A and B are shown apart, each in its own frame.
Chain A
Amino acid sequence: MTQLALVIDLNVCVGCHACVTSCKEWNTSGPAGPLSDSDPYGANPSGTFFNRVQTFEVGTFPNTATVHFPKSCLHCEEPPCVPVCPTGASYKRKEDGIVLVDYDKCIGCEYCSWACPYGAREIDAKQKVMKKCTLCVDRIYSTTLPEADRRPSCVMACPTSARLFGDVHDPESVVSKAIRESAGYALMPEWGTQPANHYLPRRKTTMTIHEDELMRVDNPLKIDGKLPKPSKQQPTLDDSTSW
C-alpha cells in the first residue's frame, strides 16, 4: 500500500514560514478552503492553518540551539482521529494513506481534536468543520499542472529544500532513502500511531583534528631554513629597477 508522506529535514529548516504561507495560499483558494482568519492584522490574530512552525530550545544556556519544527497532520498509519469520529467524516484513504476530513459529514463536535496527540486539527471558525493538512491532494493528482508541480505546496515553497515528499512504503523513494540514510524519526512513536511523516534530526558536521595535522610536514621554510636577511647596503628593489 502506498503511504504518501512528508519528510522534513530539521537540519536545514530555517523557520522562515514559507511552507506555512504557501500552504495557506494554495488551500484557502482550493476545495479545502477557505481557511478563515479573524482579526489577521490586529492584536489577537486567529485563523485556520494546516501547517505551523513550532520553535523550541535545545540545551542549557549558554549551550543552546533553536530548533524550528514545522508540524502539520502526520497522516498516521493508525490515526487516532479516525475511529473517534462519530459520523465517519474523518477517514484514511486506502490508495495513498492520506487522512482526510469529509467536510459534508463533519458535525464540528471537535472530538478528533481531543484525540490527536499532535494537535494537528483545527476548527474553521467560519465554516465550523474540522480541518487539517490534505497533503495537497487536489494538487498532487492534478492533471492540469505540469508533472514537476504535482507536489504539496509547502514542498514547492521551501527555500532550503527541507521538505521532501514521497511514498514512505517504497524503499527506493526519496523519502525512504532520506529516512534510512539520515536517521529519520517519527514524532512520539510511543503512541503507536505510526506517523507517516518523518523528521530528519539536526546534524552537526564535526571532525577531530590533532595539532600535528595542522603543521605542514613539507613546509619549504622548514626544510631550507629561513633565507638570510639582506644587509642594508645591498641594493633595494627600487635600485635594481629602471624606473
Chain B
Amino acid sequence: MSSTSFSRNESRYFYALAALGLFIVFLGYLGMHQMEEHGHIVSGMNNQIVWGLPHVFAIFMIVAASGVLNIGSIGTVFGQAPYKIRTPLAAIIAVGLLAGGLAVLMLDLGRPDRIIIAATYFNPTSVFAWNIFLYSGFFGLAVVYLWTSMEKRMYVWSKPVGLAMFAWRVILTSGTGLIFAFLVVRQAYASALLPPMFIVLSFAWGMAVFLLVQAAMFAWNNKILDPAILKRMKNLLGLFVISSLYLVAAYHMTNLYFAKQTGFELFILRDGGIYPMMFWGGYILIGSLIPAALIYTPGLGGTKSVVTASALVVFGSFALLYVFIIGGQAYPLSIFPGYEVSSSFGDGQIAKYIPSLPEALLGFGGLAIAYLITLIGTRVFNTMPHDAAVVAAKNDA
C-alpha cells in the first residue's frame, strides 16, 4: 500500500464532507428515535403496509452492495484488468452500502433492541434467518476480499476469495429475492423470477453507484477517466439496465397472463394512482429509457452523460422498489374473491400509505452511513483506480 499525503485544503474538504455525512446520520438517528419512542404508529406504516419507505432504502442498499462487488468479480474472477484495480474501491462501497442497508433494516424492526435474539435464535426454515447469516457472511468475506486485493502478500488468494465472494453474492441477492418469492399468498410476489431479477437489478444498481463514486473521486483528484475504460463501463451499465428492464417486463407479462393476478397488475400498471406513475415515469422512463439513451445515443456517452445516467438509474431503482414493496402490500389480500368487502380493518380496500418524516430520515441516515464509510474508506486506503498501467499495457499490446 502506498502512503498518501493530503493538502490542508483537501483535509478541510474531507472533514466538511464527513461532517455533512455525520449530520445526516444524526438526522437518521432522530427519525429512528421518534419511531422507537412513540411506536410505528408515528410512521406511515400500518397493519396493511407493514414495510414502508425505510425498507425501500434498505433493500436498495443491500441489493446495490451486492451489485457493486460485481466490479470486483469481473476483475478477479473473469480476469479483466481495468476492473481488477477497482476491486478495493468496490469492496469499500459494498461494505458501506451493506452497513447502511442493514442499519436501516434493523432500526426499523419493531424491536431493534432484540437484534441479539435474531442472532442467537435461528429458525432454519426462515428465509429471513438465512439472510441474517448471508449478510454477516458478506461482511466478513468483503473485508477479506478487500485485504486480498490490497495486500501484496495476499494477492495469491484474491482469485479464490473473489470466487467465493462471487458465489456468496449470487446467493445473497437470491436470498433477498426469495424473501418476496416465498410469499405465495400475495399477488405481487410468489414468482421464481424474482431471485434472478434481483440479481440482474443488483448488477445495474451496483454499477450505477460505482460509476457515481468513481466520477466523484476522479473529479476530486482532477483526473479524467480513460475514455476506453469509460466506454467499457458505460456499455456494461447500459447492458445491465436493458437486462433489468427485460426481466421486469417478463415478470409483469407473466403476471398479466394469470387471471388471478390481472387485478393486481392493472392496479400497478394502470389504475393504482401513484404506483403506475412511479412505475412508468420513475422506473421505465427516468430510470431505464433515458439512461439507456444517454449511454447509447451517438454523440453522448461522455462522463457527464454517464454520471447523469447512473444517477437516473439510482432514482429509478427507488421508484421500482417503492412500487414493488409498497404497491404490493397496498393491493388487498383476496380473501373473498369476487366480493366487495368492507370492515373496520381496511379489508378488501386499497391500503393507504403516506411516508412520514421519521421514515425518510431513517432511510437517508442509512445512505449517509454508506456515504461515510465510503468517504473514510477511500481516504484511509488507497483505492483510487490507477489506469495508467492498464492503458499502457493495452497500448503496448
Binding site for B on A (CB under 8 A): 36, 38, 46, 49, 52-58, 69, 71, 80, 83-89, 105-111, 113-119, 122-123, 125-126, 128-130, 187-188, 191
Please give, as numbers and ranges, the residues of chain B lying within 8 Å of A87 by CB-CB distance: 117-118, 121-123, 129
Instruction: In the complex, identify which listed stretch (B279-287, B297-305, B338-346) lies at the interface while the others stay far away.
Output: B338-346
In the bound complex, do residue B336 and residue A129 qualify as a contact, i.e. CB atoms below 8 Å apart? no
Contacts A53-B343, A54-B342, A191-B184; A122 near B47 (Cβ below 8 A): yes
In addition to A115-B182, A117-B333, 13 A-B residue pairs with Cβ atoms within 8 Å of each other are A46-B41, A54-B335, A54-B342, A56-B340, A58-B339, A84-B126, A84-B127, A87-B117, A107-B110, A109-B118, A118-B335, A122-B47, A188-B335
B: residues with CB less than 8 A from A are 39-41, 46-48, 50-51, 109-112, 114-115, 117-118, 121-123, 125-129, 132, 179, 182-186, 329, 333, 335-336, 339-345, 347-348
**Which of B109, B343, B348 gathers the greatest number of chain A CB atoms within 10 Å?**
B343
A130 to B179, CA, bound (A): 18
Residue ID in chain B nearest A39 by CB atoms: B41
Give bound CA distance, A46 to B41, whole Å.
9
- Interface residue from B41, B125, B182 paired with A38 (Cβ < 8 Å): B41
Return 7 A-B CB contacts under 8 Å, by A number.
Answer: A38-B41, A84-B127, A88-B126, A105-B117, A115-B182, A117-B185, A123-B110
A69 to B112, CA, bound (A): 36
Interface SS majority for chain B:
loop
Return the 5 tightest CB-CB contacts between A and B, nearest first: A108-B110, A128-B110, A117-B185, A83-B125, A86-B128
- Name the one of A57, A85, A128, A187 contacting B39, with C-beta atoms under 8 angstroms: A128
If the complex has contacts A53-B343, A107-B111, are A114 and B335 also in contact, measured as CB distance less than 8 A?
A: no
Please give the distance in Å from B385's CB to the nearest CB on chain A.
39
Q: A54-B343, A110-B51 are in contact. Are A125 and B39 (CB under 8 A)?
A: yes
Residues of A close to B179: CB separation below 8 A: 111
Per the bound structure, the CA–CA distance linking A187 and B51 in Å amounts to 26
Q: For residue A136, give the distance in angstroms from its CB to the closest CB of chain B.
A: 20
- Cα of A88 to Cα of B122 in the assembled complex, Å: 7
Contact residue among B185, B339, B345 (Cβ-Cβ distance under 8 Å from A116): B185
Q: Are A106 and B118 in contact (CB under 8 A)?
A: no
Among candidates B111, B112, B118, B341, residue contacting A55 with C-beta atoms closer than 8 Å: B341
Across-interface contacts of A56 in B (CB, < 8 A)? 336, 339-342, 348
CA distance A119 to B129 in the complex (A): 22
A80 engages B109 (CB within 8 Å): no
Q: In the complex, what residue of chain A is closest to B336 when comparing beta carbons?
A: A56
Shortest Cβ distance from B329 into A: residue = A114
Query: CB < 8 Å: which of B47, B111, B185, B335 contacts A106?
Result: B111
